Structure 1
Amino acid sequence: MRVGIIGHEGLSDLTEMLVRGELWQLVTTFGAYDLVGVGRLAPGPESWFAQAVLDHGGRIEAIVPASAARAGTFADAAGNRPGHRLLDRATAVHRLAPVEVGGPGDDTCRALVGMIDELIAVWDGRPGTEPARVVEAAQRAGLFVQVVWPDGCESPA
């Protein structure tokens, strides 16, 4: 099973705790030895999910966007670089060529949706956000989308 992840970055400590717990539970339901987590490994939900997949014996694949701005998302606000540690553990790294299709991140969205069987979206439901665009693309492609936004989560600023 190939499961993609997208999510808001810059979440509060409370939201992190709630989301990490739900992602951990979700990973246990997939039968981790057959699970391949696919995503950018960006700080926040994407790296939390990747680590949970690895902790349960699954594998991860990384999507590295072409744009320099997105490729720099491997460090969080505190300067920690969990994405680089995870990138070293990825069984495949998909480096995207620049594509001028839509807005920023369109190449990543199309690549992610094209590589997965299901999508997990850590998303507060607000339209116009990156998770919203990826969810819409996944639904258009006929993929099952699991939205993770536990009660008590705080939307990012």
Structure 2
Amino acid sequence: MRIAISGHRSLPPATETLVAEALDEALSPITGGITGLTCLADGADTLFSRAVLAHGSQIEVIVPAEHYLAGLPEEHHAEYRKLLTQAAQVHRMPFIESTSEAHMAASQHMLTLADELWAVWDGQPARGYGGTADVVQAARDLNKPVRIIWPDGATRD
């Protein structure tokens, strides 16, 4: 099974804990291993990647742009690099700058590789092009199953 992840970034610490627990719970009944597809952004992508690896499965990383890392929070750089080295495969998109268009193209590519999408999403509209709501809609347009993960008590901002 190949599961793509999309979800909110910059989550409050208490929400990160709730989401990490929910992802662990969602992965626990899956037997036979999975491949987690991720762009390794801070927040949901990283929490999902850690959980997939902790369950003995593998991740594949889609890098949206050559300068993608520069657009992520500096405090996330070490974790990004660490997880990237653990990827079974890395897919690099042909963009230089880390723009919302590059991010959405990476998400669309990720969806073509996936059997389903897990979205760490509060159900609200995207705050900018390529946000979680847009990725959820793209998955639905491709008739991919979507599993929403937003635990009770989770908040944004």
TM-score (norm 2): 0.87
Give the equivalent residue in structure 2 for 1:94: 91
User: 2:91 & 2:125 partners in 1: Cα distance?
Assistant: 28
Give the equivalent residue in structure 1 for 2:9: 9
CA 1:29–1:128: 2 relative to 1, 3 Å = same
Two-structure CA RMSD over aligned residues (Å): 1.9
TM-score (norm 1): 0.87
Residue 151 of structure 1: how far off its partner (Å): 1.1
| Count of aligned positions | 151
Residue 61 of structure 1: how far off its partner (Å): 0.3
Give the equivalent residue in structure 1 for 2:108: 110
CA 1:113–1:79: 2 relative to 1, 3 Å = closer
Unaligned runs of 5+ in 1: none
Unaligned runs of 5+ in 2: none
Residue 34 of structure 1: how far off its partner (Å): 2.4
- Given the alignment, which residue of 61, 74, 82 partners 1:85? 82
Residue 67 of structure 1: how far off its partner (Å): 5.6
Identity %: 34
Residue 148 of structure 1: how far off its partner (Å): 0.8
Residue 98 of structure 1: how far off its partner (Å): 2.6
**Cα deviations by residue, 1:112-148 (Å, 9 ceiling, x for unpaired):** 1111001110111111240000000001101111111
Counterparts of residues 16-35 of structure 1 (less than 5 Å): 16-31=16-31, 33-35=32-34
Residue 85 of structure 1: how far off its partner (Å): 0.5
8 Å CA contact 2:16, 2:47 repeated in 1? no
Residue 104 of structure 1: how far off its partner (Å): 4.6
8 Å CA contact 2:15, 2:155 repeated in 1? yes
Give the equivalent residue in structure 2 for 1:150: 151
Give the equivalent residue in structure 1 for 2:70: 72
